Amino acid sequence: MSKMLHGGRLGDVRADIVRFTSSRKSDARLADAVLAINKAHVIMLIEQEILKAQDGTKILSVLKKQTGLLLDPAAEDIHMAVEEAVLSETGSEVGGNLHIAKSRNDQTATAIRMALRAEILTVLGQITDIQQVLLETAKQHVQTIILQYTHLQAAQPVTFAHYLLMHADILGRDFERLVSAYERVNLCPLGGGALATSSFPINRQRTAELLGFNGVLENSLDAVGSRDFIIETQAALVLLAVNLSRFAEDLIVWSSAEFGTIELPDEFTSTSSIMPQKKNPEVLEVIRAHASYALGDFVAATATLKSLPTTYNLDFQEMTPKLWAVTDNLMASLSVVEALVPNIKVKTDDIETKAASGFVAATEVANMLVSKYNVAFRTSHKIVGALVKALIEQNKTLNDATPELLSEIALSVAKIKLTVKSSDIVACTNLHNLIETYKVQGGPSPAEVKRALNARIKITTENKNAVEKLKDALTAATNTLNSAVKNYSIYSQ
């Protein structure tokens, strides 16, 4: 416990207990926010004539030259470190008024929100950067055919561009969730005090404005006692982490010799210490593991919060490191994905062979029997299923299917006479022709993919601009605060 808090209600506290309850180590990333909070609070106290201008300017002059590196690392927490720094230069008669009408409770909640909103904006910027990379890479693969799988079994052909568009859209939803969370994070708890505001005539709107918040988190109990903004942000980040993990899993599987869909660049892989032929996708495996950490930290933070009584509890202190662990891991993963995507090599040399052996055109053969030969789909499904089975038993593919064999099977399994043109079967098994037919909205046909690409490029540009506006708003608030501090410094001279 800080020396400033000795000699009143409590006597001396054991050193090991101080170490056990201290948040000093994890407070480092809150230093700038805490200094800004104290500056804004002092300015408001002066403006409200709660604090004498000459005393306030002395305090501001000390705060102005402080940084996280200069603050006492042995202090109980970052808040006490700041106050002790002020007291050491101004004395208790002046510096002792720094804490008028505020508590560590509302100050901590405010500092976390300030640090978190900066982290959110960084992640939002990274998301739009990756979306741009995905879209730019997709432009190069509008005609590049790959196989997609269900249950890890070859299903239907699409294009690599279509696949990348999927991840751009998924990231778009991650973006929207984080923007929504940001709106609730960017509300100011300062002025809530310990839990019941203050009898001093403070102006909460003014401090919120100086700190760049969109408004005040009004109810004082809610202001100091709620951490749902942490859980909400973590939830959005967990979904982002899970989505990145699934992307990484695809690339891990597809880079294996058994699938052979892509080749990863050497600089994103490693080899075995004993098996010289290995090219292991370890970077992607770490991304996958980071998603597990994000989920675990989210559960830990939620479990910490779920049984706490109203208002402030020191359990909150244990939640915050879980939040920063998620943002740190995700930022690292996002950086890797952004660098990796443009360097992925798609392997298409044996796509026709893989498509044939995987019978990926079977669905289209069934569709063709419906559209051109008036066969009911369920009957068509049965016929084509039997056709595939027969071809497998003969160690053949759909490329070997003949009108005669199809007619024989139709009569056998469905009791219908069917005479199909050979050209209709061939058309179904031509991958490029097949892709062209998937021109329904959201499909992988080149024309539809180009339309979707143009739409996503526009949306991503708008999102990038929106993030920049949010950053500009915070920068403007910082400039306003610094100008106010400077003005009082001039006044004091």
Give me the residues paired with residue 215 across strands.
Answer: 187
CA distances from 486 to 43, 61, 68 (A): 11, 9, 20
Give me the residues paired with residue 148 across strands.
Answer: 156
Tally of helices (H runs) and strands (E runs) in the chain: 19, 6
Q: What is the pLDDT of residue 68?
A: 80
Catalytic residue, candidates 180, 256, 272, 371: 272
The CA distance from 30 to 33, in Å, is 5
CA distances from 319 to 120, 284, 395 (A): 17, 28, 59
Which DSSP state fits 30? G
pLDDT by residue (tens digit) across 63-119? 999 988 778 777 888 999 999 999 999 999 999 999 999 999 999 999 999 999 999
The CA distance from 140 to 137, in Å, is 5
Going by C-alpha positions, the residue among 102, 89, 117 that lies closest to residue 32 is 117
Give yes or no: 167 in active site. Answer: no
Evaluate if pTM is beyond 0.75.
yes
Going by C-alpha positions, the residue among 486, 467, 410 that lies closest to residue 178 is 467
* Tokens 């892709």 -> residue: 435
Return the percentage of the chain with pLDDT > 90, whole number: 90
Contact in structure between 91 and 37 (CB atoms under 8 Å):
no
The CA distance from 34 to 24, in Å, is 13
Contact in structure between 145 and 210 (CB atoms under 8 Å):
no
Kindly list the averaged pLDDT for each block of 10 residues, start to end, along the chain of length 493. 54 62 72 97 98 96 88 84 94 96 97 98 98 98 97 96 98 98 98 98 98 98 97 98 98 96 96 93 96 97 95 93 96 97 96 93 96 96 96 95 96 94 94 94 97 98 98 98 89 56
Contact in structure between 391 and 384 (CB atoms under 8 Å):
no
The CA distance from 40 to 481, in Å, is 7
Give yes or no: 79 in active site. Answer: no
**What region does 461 belong to: left with phi over 0, alpha with psi -120 to 50, or beta?**
alpha
The CA distance from 421 to 415, in Å, is 19
Q: Which residues contact 318 (CB under 8 A, 6 or more apart)?
A: 304
Q: What is the pLDDT of residue 16?
A: 61
Element (DSSP H or E) covering residue 490: helix 446-492
* Tokens 């929106």 -> residue: 466
Q: What is the pLDDT of residue 40?
A: 98
Give me the residues paired with residue 158 across strands.
Answer: 146
Mean pLDDT over the full length of the chain? 94
Going by C-alpha positions, the residue among 290, 324, 340, 331 that lies closest to residue 125 is 331
The CA distance from 228 to 305, in Å, is 8
Q: What is the pLDDT of residue 75?
A: 81
Catalytic residue, candidates 92, 151, 199, 307: 151
Q: What is the pLDDT of residue 1?
A: 47
CA distances from 265 to 14, 19, 80, 281, 398 (A): 55, 47, 50, 10, 34
Q: What is the pLDDT of residue 492?
A: 56
Q: What is the pLDDT of residue 5?
A: 56
- Residue 46, both tokens: 């002066």
Contact in structure between 375 and 418 (CB atoms under 8 Å):
yes
Q: What is the pLDDT of residue 265?
A: 95
The CA distance from 238 to 296, in Å, is 9
345 phi and psi angles, rounded to 5 deg? -100, 125
Contact in structure between 492 and 57 (CB atoms under 8 Å):
yes
E-strand ranges in 214-344 read: 215-216, 262-263
**What are the residue ranges of helices labelled H in 312-414?**
315-340, 351-357, 362-373, 377-393, 403-414
CA angle (111 as vertex; 312, 27 as ends), nearest 5: 90
291 phi and psi angles, rounded to 5 deg? -65, -35
Q: How many CA atoms lie within 13 A of 20 on its CB side?
A: 5
CA distances from 233 to 13, 175, 324, 350, 449 (A): 36, 12, 11, 44, 32
